Structures are given as structure tokens and as C-alpha cells.
Amino acid sequence: MVAVGLGLLAIDEGYTVAFEKMESLVRIMDDAEVDRKAGFRLRYLRKCQLLIVDEIGYTPITKAQASRFFSLVSDAYERQSLVFTTNKEIPDWAEMVQDPVLATALMDRILHHARCFSLRGESYRLKHPELYAHRD
């Protein structure tokens, strides 16, 4: 919710914003060379002023996918704003990307100008289930 809120504020201020869940982003990067729609989407993700990537670490990724993700982050470094949401602590990223050297390079670029926030406490969804109940 915080990442979406930041994205909405950025849009209100006139910035171009894109939002992808990591699972979807990985699929787009996998398909970009052979699927025209995925290629267009990836170009937009690389071009927008703010890219929000949600749920990093919830779905396993291959080493090749991690390498493509590194390329995306590296290309965005000092050129594009990035917002990530994850349930993984920084030391866990090496296992997630299956390569400690790649994880170090990734973290170097991500953390250089970063502002990190750790949200703790009860889940808003669990605290207010009535807001998320499906209405028929």
C-alpha cells in the first residue's frame, strides 16, 4: 500500500510511473525478445521515471532471471527512481538471486541512494478483513 501510495503521489506530480509484481516483471523480461507486447512493456519499464517492483522474493527466480533483473536495476541506476517491496532481508538476497557476487553488485546499486523502511506490526489486511471481503 505504501509503494502504491508513493506511485499515486508521483503521478499527481506529473511523473511517469510503472508498477509490476516481481513475478510479472520476470515473465516480461523472459519474453521480451520473442513477444512484441512484452518488449513494449519492458521498454516502458526502462523509460518511466519511477518503477515500482512489488513482492520481490515471494516467487523463486532462476540465476538467468536474476541476471536480467540486475541488468534492469543497473540500467536504472542514477537515471530512474526505483521502489521495491520485499519480505527478504538484505542478507537473504544472495540466496534469492543464487549468486553472492551478483547480490552484492545488485545491493550496491540499490542501496547507494536508497531510503529503506522496515514496516513491522499487524497486517492491515488482517486487521481490517471487512475491507477486503468480496461482495457478491
Contact predicate 76/114, CB 8 Å? no
- The answer to whether the predicted template modeling score (pTM) of the entire model surpasses 0.85 is yes
Residue ranges per structural domain of the chain: 2-131
Per residue in 44-72, pLDDT tens?
999 999 999 999 999 899 999 999 999 99
Q: How far is CA 42 from CA 36, 56, 66, 90, in A?
A: 10, 17, 15, 26
Q: Which CATH class is domain 2-131?
A: alpha beta
Residue showing cell 521495491: 84
Q: What is the pLDDT along the chain (136 residues), one digit of tens a residue?
A: 899 999 999 999 999 999 999 999 999 999 999 999 999 999 999 999 999 999 999 989 999 999 999 999 999 999 999 999 998 998 999 999 999 999 999 999 999 999 998 888 787 777 878 877 766 5
